[in-house]
Chain A
Amino acid sequence: MGWNRKVLRVNLTAGTCNPEPLNMAWANDYLGSRGLASKYLVEEIDPKVDPLSPDNKMIMATGPLTGTMASTGGRYTVVTKGALTNAIACSNSGGYFGAEMKFAGWDMIIFEGRSPKPVYLYLENDKAELRDAGHLWGKTCWETEETIKASHQDPLIRVSSIGAAGENAVLFACIVNDLHRAAGRSGVGAVMGSKNLKAVAIRGTQGVSGIKDFPAFLAATNAAKKVLADNAVTGQGLPKYGTQVLMNVINEMGALPTRNHRDVQFEDAGKISAEAMHEKRPTDGKPHLVTNAACFGCTIACGRISKIDETHFSVKNSPKYWGANGGLEYEAAWALGAANGVGDLEALQYANLLCNEHGMDPISFGATVGAAMELYDLGIISREQIGVDARFGSAEALCKLVEMTAHGEGFGKELGMGSARLCARYGRPELSMSVKSQEFPAYDSRGIQGMGLTYATSNRGACHLRSYTVASEVLGIPVKTDPLVTEGKAELVKAFQDATGVFDAAGICVFTSFAWTLADVQPQIQAACEGDWSMEKLNEVGERIWNMERQFNLAAGFTAADDDLPPRLKTEPAKTGPAKGLVNGIDKMKPEYYKVRGWNADGVPEKATLERLGL
């Protein structure tokens, strides 16, 4: 068995920590992590609950492959009702925290209620204690981790925490572990903050002992690692360039959303690209990038470790940012850069550092700044209101706004609501580039049509990690499809959505899917877990997870009308590049997708579909 078969239930209102057995019948239907934790959530909370109320619950969960030799087997997820979206949320993070939870003997931790005062959970194997976090409240994620390790005199503790953003209910606050990995999207950090839970600190020394067939598991994981090593994307491109390898590629395709999606190509894309991170700076003769880095168990190592230019205006008086630190991934570089028209790599890194330090999702933050810059450009909000000259392209404005949002100062409070609420507040809701109130990531759906359907139907609001059809439409993985047409995208999106659910539920990183198909994952799950885990079953698990999440959102009040894109993407054609003249064909794809899914015209799963999946 890949599971520890043990759940920790933490009632923050009562201050209690109680172990309970993992529901193995559910594990058999939902595998683990995203799937299994979502099953617990939908069974335990009212879908209409206010995400920031004590009645919401937050679950940190591992999968059966978390904490094992399976490549990338270090992932954990945070499942809750999202503060930003009011939809089901599942944010996934790497680093070392997830594996440590497994080594301490737990599969998941369920947090319920609200603590009367700030606390942190300390887990040392079976020992679970809520401890006073009065001295930690107000501290950054970095200070929190350092302080906890120092006070326990144990440098081997792994920590997940919120910063000021989560404490102050910034709606795109995230949860940061191991300094620069994050459960980033949908405002899971705001939910954690609403519970007065500052951090979770874990030390696990029990390890993972229950692999079903260890020789078979080693053979399967070794074979799968070889597939990653031999693949050009996972074996060469990602280690060398990181996800940033995409910046120039997507820009060339005319699918790099620029200045709040007004444009689809960014004239300064090259300056904020992976290639630029490798170049020596004129100021100090050093490249921005120091090295690459892996999360627990990962044999790809796409992570970036960078050093900011000490002479840059943002940090020249702040030596604490001069050391090596988590560097720009493609999504952050896009959101902080192209989305705002900012082509200053060092400014983007500064904003990225503050997002990590204070616990904010750089995608939603950056895209919200983009929306604010458009409101400013249109004269709807003034310089006095914002407190800075927020012109598109202003690196100074970006750096100022990230500080204001992190600290909840002035206009930063309004940015902290996210773009949907910000634009609605100023009477221009259509300027928010979001679905279900969650900002788009870094692909313009006019140039990559399938991504429009991906965003519109994603159960956690606009997101690229629910069905990354970029793999097929741009990179030809597993087969090349034409990014400029809508034909076949309904089937493609469904297939990606279902398969991704299995990768997430297993506890591995979805980036492996550049090289792996489900057929590479299946033998690893089969060798680790009791029971039958055939391809047929795994496909069904993926589809079951998707439909379960859908049912939750429908019960929460979402309808087919929420599976839509902002009017800009449906009515304003791309101005340049290969997609010039195109809008996204969501209205054509959506009914096809509902049909492929076995849902009715209102996007509600048909009875036969639910019965087939045992829902």
Chain B
Amino acid sequence: MQKSLHIDPAKCTGCLQCEMACSYEHTGVINPSKSRIKVFNFEHEGRKVPYTCTQCADAWCMNACPVEAIVIDAATGAKVVKEATCVGCKVCTIACPFGTVNYMADVGKVQKCDLCAGDPKCVSACPTGAITYVDADWTGLDRMRAWAARTNTAAVAA
């Protein structure tokens, strides 16, 4: 079964444990500035929103890459940057409509979420369940369940 990151912004408190876990996994340093998941704080609305790559099936970044440095991880479906191949041309960062591929000036390559080979560290680091890793075909399951719970209430009342 392929899985997918699922984000529920209503549960996010803005603690940045996900950014720490992500950066440590990929760089060996606790460094949110290198995180591939980013929490945005909309101060005046009281909303905090974690955001990262959704792993498009037909991925703009992959299609745009002139050197085929972005490949599909068959096991997870993640679009993964092969650093050895990447030439740092940044075309993928322009092609991605969501901004989730970014250039790292210090190494001259791009980086994006690779789903940590199927064990996303942001998920295990999140203390509130705002980020989960669920069946890719059923990302709507929780929402469906919530709405389902509101139907046929007559049976409960009876």
Contacts and interface: CB of A to CB of B under 8 A. Distances in A.
B81 interface: no
Interface in A206-231: 206-209, 211, 214, 225, 229
A69 B17 contact: yes
Interface residues of A, number: 37
Contacts of A324: 43-47
Interface in B96-154: 125, 127-128
Given A293-B13, A293-B48, A179 B43 contact: yes
A299 B34 contact: no
B46 A296 contact: no
B13 A294 contact: yes
A209 B46 contact: no
B15 A299 contact: yes
Contact of A298 (B15, B27, B45): B15
Interface of A is mostly: loop
A95 to B, nearest CB: 10
Interface string A123-165: 0000000000000000000000000000000001000000000
A208 B31 contact: yes
A292 interface: yes
A172 interface: no
A296 B46 CA distance: 16
B20 A307 contact: no
B30 interface: yes
Q: How large is the interface on B (under 10, 10 to 19, 20 to 34, 35 or more residues)?
A: 20 to 34
A301 B33 contact: no
Interface string B1-32: 00000000000011111001101100111111
A204 B32 CA distance: 9
Nearest to B125: A69
Contacts of B128: 301
B125 A294 contact: no
B127 A67 contact: no
A323 B43 contact: yes
Contact of A69 (B21, B34, B44, B48): B21
Contacts of B13: 239, 292-294, 298, 301, 303
B126 to A, nearest CB: 9
B48 to A, nearest CB: 7
Given A204-B33, A209-B29, A293-B48, A229 B21 contact: no
A303 B44 CA distance: 15
Contact of B127 (A204, A206, A299): A299
A350 interface: no
A298 B21 CA distance: 14
A613 interface: no
A324 B14 CA distance: 15
B44 A301 contact: no
B156 to A, nearest CB: 25
A291 B46 contact: yes
A103 interface: yes
B46 to A, nearest CB: 3
A563 B120 CA distance: 54
Interface in B80-104: none
A553 interface: no
Contacts of B23: 207
Most chain B beta-carbon contacts within 10 A, residue among A68, A209, A290: A209
A296 B16 contact: yes
A103 B14 CA distance: 18
Contact of A205 (B17, B31, B48): B31
B127 A229 contact: yes
Nearest to A296: B16
Nearest to A69: B20
B45 A323 contact: yes
B46 A294 contact: no
A96 B41 CA distance: 12
Contact of B32 (A103, A294, A303, A305): A103
B32 to A, nearest CB: 7
Most chain A beta-carbon contacts within 10 A, residue among B14, B34, B44, B45: B14
Interface string A8-43: 000000000000000000000000000000000000
B101 to A, nearest CB: 18
Interface string A178-210: 010000000000000000000000001111110
A299 B30 CA distance: 17
Contacts of A214: 24
A231 to B, nearest CB: 13
A290 B15 contact: no
A394 to B, nearest CB: 30
Contact of B28 (A209, A292, A298): A209
Contacts of A207: 23, 27, 29-34
A74 to B, nearest CB: 8
Most chain A beta-carbon contacts within 10 A, residue among B17, B30, B125: B30
Given A291-B46, A325-B44, A67 B30 contact: yes
A225 B27 contact: no
A490 interface: no
A71 B20 CA distance: 12
A211 B30 contact: yes
Contacts of A412: none
A292 B47 CA distance: 10
A605 interface: no
A99 B46 CA distance: 22
A297 B24 CA distance: 14
Give the 9 A-B residue pairs with the shortest CB-CB distance, closest first.
Answer: A207-B31, A324-B46, A323-B44, A290-B46, A294-B13, A299-B127, A294-B15, A301-B13, A207-B29
5 contacts: A69-B20, A291-B47, A293-B14, A301-B13, A301-B128
Given A69-B17, A209-B28, A209-B31, 6 more contacts: A209-B29, A291-B46, A294-B15, A296-B15, A296-B16, A307-B46
